[in-house]
Chain A
């Protein structure tokens, strides 16, 4: 059964774009951005470096050094554009694919790998970076972000020099109850939160039609706040739209839903095989809208960067890839008794008893190993 397309039909979706796939700068009536050449080169560098880290992580998984990896390939502009719109005081809540946002928040890329290598469940201090831990259960973090935003309100940190939260999720997550509840909470409490949905068209094997009959950004109106669709492969537009949404949230105007229209160019994770459910032509079409190529074309055409710059960024990317690889391989396995660490914040009798019993059990093997 398919839905009757005439039911609930609306005007065709609008898309905010400031930089075309060909690298042409275009105007938009509601959004503008004024970037210095240095800032544009900075964005280009970010895009290239996070793609390089991602590539290295995929390779590490293929070589058995990571258990799994969730590639951000194709979503670099959405993540760098939105990530660079954040101030230090803003708080970000990611899914497990926001490696580009993590980069913007100053998280060492190696620390992202711990979770995927199986040495921890999250390897950075979320308070230090104002970047929460990766959340794997789909959509749960949207409620945490709204609660955090309610805390900002209670701290009196809304208004001039205010703070906001941004929460990332995908097209599939929009079907989750928690995401819908978070929309309701944000709306009712007018919370300073930006919902940043990366619509990469695929929730593992399920296309967007399995999640929604209307463009995702239009769902916001039913909850009582604005929604906007932005070209998710356009780093300028993502930066401009997110900056505006965050400014509105910080100043007390409430939540905004941003739908970054993009494409998951790789597999869902390294365990996935997209050839089973999508056609190659689709990928080829999106390759023409690559988020990095258009910035490169823009810089080149406008003579804002020379070949030496591009070579320099490529060399830096390769060096970063090597460094990430080296430090990933050096990452120590945790000690067995670490299982019991941090389960509770305060002392807990059962943890103490089981830790001691397990230590005693393990010590029996030490005797064997020492030949006694």
Chain B
């Protein structure tokens, strides 16, 4: 066991993947000498060289488009998109090519490309640096979409994503990059499957469903609720596509109440998919409708307002109260 920040855990995971497989490449803006604007790729170019850790020209479509070409030649590129709001120039390559080319080829092509995206708010940034675009990608079949929430998962999941033969959109909670935890870097197998949710905190009264940065917020809410005598179960989805529906259903049938929490706007957000599925699968177990806590259905506000925009402990507990009011 070693104590790592989430950023360092990702770094160590990528390093391990590059050591294990010479076909693994890292590419993106400023990923070389600088080590990325969040230092997630720190030191990789120094150790693996410019051929494997590629500082690219400043164009996101070019990053993903050339990564597809490298994958066609047998490489496993890991692309860094610098910030969530900058992924959209690459959206065409991701949605029309990366997601669909294997199907187009009737299975003769596989595209093991990872697109890493630091996501979410809470760091006092200017516009386009705090978004949560996961629903655009979960709506695109052909992609796997995952979101890590803590250093231990980050270390494992980045390696799993790189080993996966499908394209993976890998969301990283940027405001949790500097949070530390124990990580077992010796384990190379016996991992949970990529796509498996985890119960981050067991409980009996309400299921909180979260992923990425909101897992910690939900854990804090659960700790606070305990003082009020309420037992909240926190489920960290880890993977949004595929979704670990059995784990979710098992939890909600047990608790009878469910609150979904994400930073993205509620309207048309991933929570809508969760609420619909849970309603269908757990209808006779539910004591209350599935409630959603998320950002207002507005663009992300200027950062002086972000504490009002982002779901926090109180907003989560407010929803829990409402779930009990039915």
Q: Give me the interface of A with B, judged by CB distance under 8 Å.
A: 120-123, 125-127, 132-133, 135, 137, 140, 142-155, 177-178, 181-182, 184-185, 188, 341-346, 348-350, 353
Most B CB contacts (10 A, CB to CB) among A132, A140, A155, A345 go to A345
CA distance A181 to B69 in the complex (A): 14
CA distance A343 to B93 in the complex (A): 16
Assess whether B127 is interfacial by the CB under 8 Å rule.
no
7 smallest CB-CB distances across A and B, nearest first, come from A147-B69, A143-B65, A151-B73, A147-B66, A181-B62, A148-B69, A342-B107
Interface residues of B in 231-263 (CB under 8 A from A): 241-245
CB-based nearest B residue for A114 = B106
Stretch at the interface among B10-18, B95-103, B177-185, B306-314: B95-103
Chain B nearest CB, measured from A293 CB (Å):
37
Interface residues of B in 44-62 (CB under 8 A from A): 51-52, 56-57, 59, 61-62
Chain B nearest CB, measured from A165 CB (Å):
8
Most A CB contacts (10 A, CB to CB) among B59, B65, B75 go to B65
CB-based nearest A residue for B96 = A137
CB-CB < 8 A to B93: which residues of A? 140, 143, 178
Assess whether B265 is interfacial by the CB under 8 Å rule.
no
Asked whether, in the complex, the Cβ of A177 is within 8 Å of the Cβ of B61, the reply is: yes
Asked whether, in the complex, the Cβ of B66 is within 8 Å of the Cβ of A185, the reply is: yes
CB-CB < 8 A to A150: which residues of B? 66, 69-70, 73
Asked whether, in the complex, the Cβ of B92 is within 8 Å of the Cβ of A140, the reply is: yes
CB-based nearest B residue for A140 = B97
Asked whether, in the complex, the Cβ of A345 is within 8 Å of the Cβ of B65, the reply is: no
| Binary contact track B172-200/A, C-beta < 8 Å → 1, others 0 | 00000000000000000000000100000
CA distance A143 to B94 in the complex (A): 12
| Binary contact track B286-316/A, C-beta < 8 Å → 1, others 0 | 0000000000000000000000000000000
CB-based nearest B residue for A186 = B66
CB-CB < 8 A to B110: which residues of A? 345
Select B106's contact among A155, A342, A344, beta carbons within 8 Å.
A342
Assess whether B2 is interfacial by the CB under 8 Å rule.
no
Also in contact, A151 and B166, with CB within 8 A (given A137-B92, A343-B141, A343-B142): no
Select B104's contact among A122, A147, A184, beta carbons within 8 Å.
A122
CA distance A149 to B195 in the complex (A): 33
Asked whether, in the complex, the Cβ of B73 is within 8 Å of the Cβ of A349, the reply is: no
CB-CB < 8 A to B141: which residues of A? 343
Please, could you name 11 A-B residue pairs with CB atoms under 8 Å apart, sorted by A? A122-B106, A133-B109, A137-B96, A146-B65, A147-B65, A151-B69, A151-B72, A154-B70, A342-B106, A344-B142, A345-B166
CB-CB < 8 A to A185: which residues of B? 56-57, 62, 66
Asked whether, in the complex, the Cβ of A349 is within 8 Å of the Cβ of B72, the reply is: no
Asked whether, in the complex, the Cβ of B165 is within 8 Å of the Cβ of A346, the reply is: yes
Assess whether B164 is interfacial by the CB under 8 Å rule.
yes
Chain B nearest CB, measured from A286 CB (Å):
33
Asked whether, in the complex, the Cβ of B72 is within 8 Å of the Cβ of A148, the reply is: yes
CB-CB < 8 A to B72: which residues of A? 126, 132, 144, 147-148, 151
Most B CB contacts (10 A, CB to CB) among A150, A152, A344, A350 go to A344
Chain A nearest CB, measured from B240 CB (Å):
11
Most B CB contacts (10 A, CB to CB) among A142, A143, A147, A152 go to A147
Assess whether B67 is interfacial by the CB under 8 Å rule.
yes
Chain A nearest CB, measured from B161 CB (Å):
12
Asked whether, in the complex, the Cβ of B101 is within 8 Å of the Cβ of A133, the reply is: yes
Select A140's contact among B96, B108, B165, beta carbons within 8 Å.
B96
Question: Beyond the given A146-B65, A150-B70, A350-B242, could you list 19 further A-B residue pairs with CB under 8 A, ordered by the A residue number?
Answer: A125-B108, A132-B72, A143-B93, A146-B66, A147-B66, A147-B67, A147-B72, A148-B70, A150-B73, A153-B51, A178-B92, A185-B66, A342-B103, A344-B102, A346-B164, A348-B166, A349-B195, A349-B242, A349-B243
Most B CB contacts (10 A, CB to CB) among A144, A177, A178 go to A144
Also in contact, A143 and B66, with CB within 8 A (given A133-B105, A343-B142): yes
CB-based nearest B residue for A342 = B107
Chain B nearest CB, measured from A94 CB (Å):
13
Also in contact, A122 and B166, with CB within 8 A (given A182-B65, A349-B243, A350-B242): no
CB-based nearest B residue for A125 = B108
Assess whether B68 is interfacial by the CB under 8 Å rule.
yes
Chain B nearest CB, measured from A365 CB (Å):
24
